[in-house]
Each structure stands twice: as C-alpha cells, then as structure tokens.
Amino acid sequence: FTVEDCKKVIDYKNNEWKNDKKMSKHIEINTFFGIANFEKYLDAANNTQSEPQTKEPQPQDLETYLLQYFRPIDLEHLKKGGNFQRYEQQLSENLFKLTNVAKFYKNQSITPLFLFELLYTPLGNRLNGSTPERKLDSFERFFKKQNDYNQNQADMRQLVKDLAQTQ
C-alpha cells in the first residue's frame, strides 16, 4: 500500500465517524490500519471517490417541500382548513431539534422537513406511536432494520410509504 492509500483511509473514516458519538472513539491508528480493517476501508474509500455525490438542494420552507409530494389542490385544502398554519407553527417550534436529528443520518433524503412530515403529518401514521417522540423511536427501529443501501442511499420517504403495504 502507498502513503496515498493510507491518507485516503484516514480521511475517509475520519469524515465518516467524526460527528458520530458512538464511532468517533474508534478514530485511531489501530482501528484504521488493523489487518482486518485496512483493505475494507480502502475499498470503501475508493468506491466513494469514484462515485461523485451531488447533493440535491433541499427545500427550505414547508410549502415548497409539500409541493414536491402533494398536489397544489391538496395544499390549498390544508391552507383553507388551517392545518397548514398549524404545521408551519409546529415546524418553527421543532426545526432546531429536527435539524440536529437529521444530521445523525447519512441518508440525504432524511432532512428536517422529511422528519417533520414523518412526525407531524399523516405520513407518520405508518409508524407506531401516538406522539412525535414515539414515532421517532419507531422510525429509528425501522431505519436500523434497513439494509446498508437503504440506510445510506434509498428514498426514505418512499420506504415509509411502502411500510404499510408490507405489514
């Protein structure tokens, strides 16, 4: 292996683990260069670099987000019924928390607005729980059961929508 290979593994694992409380304690030489780990980490680093990840810009407001998934007429009904204003209020009260929760997931489809939709709108009815906290726990269990690809790449919103059909 070359010095560049070593640098690649260090950068790759450091970026992956530095914000993860559970894994950050493993950022050390023995872990990176252990016989069982190094080749596996190098392969992962090489595969990641060969696939450029372009993150799509995420909508910043609730209306833009909902228009991606709802018909405009449905959004108008939400507004006329007062639910949209209630949703906006709940989002503003919980945005900081949802932003921090979303940071723990590597999947780019898990955004603060997706978590809001999951916890406070009918999409979350596919999860167990009557409160946002219980729905979040249920989502965490659902997420952990997913395979590696689904955890990191799949559209979580679609997987949650499909959840009711598989139960």
Residues 13 and 84: their CA atoms lie apart, in Å, by 42
CB 34 within 8 A of CB 6: no
The pLDDT value given to residue 166: 54
> What are the pLDDT digits (tens) for 74-102?
989 999 999 999 999 999 999 999 999 99
Tell which wins on pLDDT, 106 or 51: 106
Which tokens in the block code for residue 137? 């726990």
CA angle 87, 70, 78 (to 5 degrees): 40
